[in-house]
Structure 1
Amino acid sequence: MPTIKLYVGNLVENLAKPDLEALFSEYGQVTECAIIGNYGFVHYDNEDSGKAAVSALNGSQFMGRSLKVEISRSKSTKIFVGDLPEGTTKEQLETLFNSYGIIVECDVIRNYGFVHFATEEQASLACKLNGENYKGNILRVEISSSKMRQKPGMGGRDGCFKCGRYGHW
C-alpha cells in the first residue's frame, strides 16, 4: 500500500504530538507523527489522505500560526555506529538515537550498526554521540559513506548484502 509523508512547518513551540495528530486525523488514518522543534512529519498509509490534508491545511491557521504543509521530498540519511558493546540489540540502538529524530530503520550487525534518519539534519545531530561512552565502549558515529543499502527497507537479514534482494547470492 503506498504511503505518503508530509512536512508540517511553522508549528508553535512545545506543541503536543496528540494535538498535531488530531488535526491531521480529520483527513485519514495517521500512521506516524513526529515533532522536531517548530516542524514535524505526518505519515498516512493512503496518498489521497495526504493530498487532502495538504490541500486543506497548507496556509491554514493552527494555534495562531499559518501552517506550511507539503508532501515531504526528503530522503533518509544513514549513519554508521561503530564499537557497540557485544550483545547490543536493535531496540537498544533505537532507544539510544530516538531523541535525535525520526528513525526510519535501524539494524545491528555484530559490534556495529546503521540508523536511517528521516532527514540529514537529524542524522547530523545524532553524530554528536561520536566519542561518547555507551556501556563501557567509546562510540564511533558518523554519516555513513557506504554505498550499499542506502535506502531503508534493504536491511533484511536474508537478502543480498549489496542490494537487499533474495535468491541470487
Structure 2
Amino acid sequence: MSMRGSLKALVRMVKLFIGNLPREATEQEIRSLFEQYGKVLECDIIKNYGFVHIEDKTAAEDAIRNLHHYKLHGVNINVEASKNKSKASTKLHVGNISPTCTNQELRAKFEEYGPVIECDIVKDYAFVHMERAEDAVEAIRGLDNTEFQGELLWAWVVEPSGV
C-alpha cells in the first residue's frame, strides 16, 4: 500500500481502551472479539487492560455498543474510546528497555526530541507515540543503537498492520 493510503487509514482509525481484562485473556482472543465489528489494525494487552486500533468510527461505535460490559472469562470488560491519544501521531517501537526504566524516564528521553503523546512500557519494549513525524525521525536517529540505563536501545517506526 502507498504511503498516502496508509496515512489515510491512520486518520480514520479509532483507538479503543479495554479495561478490566481478565488475566486469561489473550491478544488473539481480543482481536477475534473486535474483528466481528471491523478490521483490527492493532491489538496490545498490558496486564489487566489493553488497546485495540479499529478501522473507523462506525466499527468503533459498534464494538463499544456490543462489547462494553461483555463477560469474558467471567469478568465484565469495559470498552470505550481511548482518551489518551486524540491527535494523530507517529508510533515508535522501542526495544531492549532496562527492567528498571519507568514510563516517565522513557517519556522524558523521547521528549528531548519533541512532544510525546503516549508512552507505554510492555516488558522489555515500549511504544512511544510522538506528536510529529519529523520529531520521531530525529528521535530514531538520536536514540537507536545508543545506551540508555545500561541497555542498548533499538527504535523504529511502527507501520500499522493490516493496512
For normalisation by structure 1, the TM-score amounts to 0.53
The structure with more radius of gyration: 1
Deviations 1:38-94 (Å, cap 9, x if unpaired)?
000001121100110000010121111101000001038944259xxxxxxxxxxxx
Identity %: 28
Kindly indicate which of the two structures has a greater share of residues assigned to helix.
2
Is 2:122 aligned against 1:132? no
Q: 1:28 to 1:97 in 2, by over 3 A?
A: closer
Gaps of 5+ in 2: 1-7, 90-103, 112-120, 131-135, 158-163
Deviations 1:7-34 (Å, cap 9, x if unpaired)?
0001111421101101111101000000
For normalisation by structure 2, the TM-score amounts to 0.54
Gaps of 5+ in 1: 83-95, 115-129, 140-151, 153-169
**Which residue pairs with 2:70 in the alignment?**
60
How big is the shift at 1:131?
A: 5.8
Partner letter of residue 102 of structure 1?
F
Q: How many residues align?
A: 109
**Which residue pairs with 1:80 in the alignment?**
109
Deviations 1:118-163 (Å, cap 9, x if unpaired)?
xxxxxxxxxxxx962234xxx8xxxxxxxxxxxx9xxxxxxxxxxx
How big is the shift at 1:3?
A: 1.2
Of structures 1 and 2, the one scoring higher in RCO (CA 8 A, sep 6+) is 2
Let me know the Cα RMSD of the aligned residues: 3.5
CA distance in 2, matches of 1:97, 1:113: 18
